[in-house]
Amino acid sequence: MPPPRRLARELAQLDGATVRIGGHLEDYRALGGVAFALVRDGSGTSQVTLKKGVSDPALFELLSSLPRESVVLVEGRVQLSQKSNRGVELLPTTVSVVSRSESPLPLGIIDKVPTELDTRLNHRVIDLRKPEVRGIFELRAHILAGLRSALASEGFLEVETPKLLRQGAEGGATLFAVDYFGEQAYLAQSPQLYKQMLISSGFERVFEIAPAFRAEPSDTVRHITEFTSLDAEMAFPDGAEAIRALLETVVLQALAHTRTALGPSASERLAAPSTPFPRIPFAEAAGWLGRSGPPRDLGADDEKRLAEVVQEKFGAPYYFLTEFPTSVKAKTFYAERQESDPSLTGYFDLYHRDLELASGGPREHRLDRLEANLRSAGLDPSGFASYLEAFRFGMPPHGGFGFGVDRLVKVLAGLPNIRESRLFPRDRYRLEP
């Protein structure tokens, strides 16, 4: 019976043991009477050392004939070695070829030659074999675990809502239409309406981490058409500030969880930011930018300039933009208008430098005002009958936020393009692989 398969990270504790390793043949080099094969698995790379006069000559011939990235199983004895960069090597007795790779590879795994992003995404399976690329998704997994843990500790219940809808949360032309057994339906751009309905159901704190779809014809480094959204909703919040404070806590706890999980390899981007995050009213930010006239939403250039001003004034990477004008959030019909000044909402955005990460605030829980907001947004309340029913039979005050997980990964991994934060990204030009 063959010995058990071991991972590269385990070998240093198995000196003298006979084991099997398995993975992709990353490289093979022959130097005089010694040859080295590097075999990569999900935990790292093992060095297989062949020595003339000691190792079976057939193994030299076999390994030298294999293209890079072929899959092999190697059985042999583990030996600690000061000459190996890894501090340990495997002296092989048998090598089995599981799967022979084609050659040449469409892109290099260990080569230092830079590869265009489109080429990497066209051959994503190969690209994902790179340890540095795999590291992005290990980071992502820890971030997701941290977000879940943070919300659970605050009493939130994780839920799942439909992704095939009769109408969108915000209307407009940013919906993907699909044929639903002869009827028109849409892919969900947000679980907003359903999480509000759950508040009416008595689920006082809910969250969801799920895919969302937005048919915006954007072609930027911060937009994709399929993305992962964290959405949270809570009943009886103590105003917009309570929702902001919750979001701030969730971010801090997720960062702390990820730092602990990654240990010394954690990047500076995971360092705990100073708190509280600055709160900047929209009108004040508009003044800093020298904007005049009717309020209008920020564009990319405005966001870059605002980030510079915030850095100068506060030295803070994370900050809230608060008190959005009602006119700017007109399509966000569920946004509650302030009682003292209906021209303002309690809505806010959370930024990291010039990148918007999250948006949220108190929702409108009164049916008559909600229907009026729908009409003001150019929408027919009759098309939202199921949603509005939740408000007819008792709806508590509530609020929450939506958070772009892919954007947070982009920030924390230091990625130039959001497409790199997803395993198989989708944008207006890419539908495969």
Q: Which residues, other chains included, contact 312 with Cβ-Cβ below 8 Å and sequence gap of 6+?
A: none
Active-site residue list = 214, 216, 222-223, 356, 359, 407
Domains of the chain are 8-99 (2.40.50.140), 127-421 (3.30.930.10)
At residue 370, the pLDDT reads: 95
Q: Which residues, other chains included, contact 311 with Cβ-Cβ below 8 Å and sequence gap of 6+?
A: 317, 353
Per-residue pLDDT, averaged over 390-395, amounts to 96
User: Considering the chain, what is the average pLDDT of its residues?
Assistant: 94
Interhelix angle 131-153/239-262, nearest 10 degrees: 140
CA distances from 84 to 45, 47, 298, 390 (A): 12, 8, 55, 66
CA distances from 149 to 118, 155, 195, 224, 264 (A): 35, 10, 19, 26, 21
- The helix or strand, by DSSP H or E, that contains position 12, with its residue range, turns out to be none
Per-residue pLDDT, averaged over 33-38, amounts to 94
Torsion of CA 268, 269, 272, 277, to 10 degrees: 140
Which tokens sit at 126? 């190969």
Q: Cα dihedral sign for 227, 228, 230, 231?
A: positive
Q: State pLDDT tens for residues 188-236.
A: 999 999 999 999 999 999 999 999 999 988 889 999 999 999 999 999 9
pTM: 0.92
What percent of the chain stands above pLDDT 90? 86
What's the CA gap between 413 and 41, in Å, rounded? 22
What's the CA gap between 159 and 429, in Å, rounded? 32
Q: Are 363 and 232 in contact (CB under 8 A)?
A: no
Report how far Cα 187 is from the mean position of its chain's Cα atoms.
Answer: 20
- How many degrees, rounded to 5, is the angle at CA 208 between CA 237 and CA 408? 90
Q: State pLDDT tens for residues 258-286.
A: 999 999 888 888 999 999 999 999 999 99
Cβ burial of 381 (10 Å; 0-12, 13-18, 19+) is middle
Q: Which residues, other chains included, contact 215 with Cβ-Cβ below 8 Å and sequence gap of 6+?
A: 173, 174, 175, 176, 225
282-288 long-range CB contacts below 8 Å, 24 or more apart? 282/321, 282/322, 282/323, 282/324, 282/325, 282/328, 283/323, 283/325, 285/309, 285/321
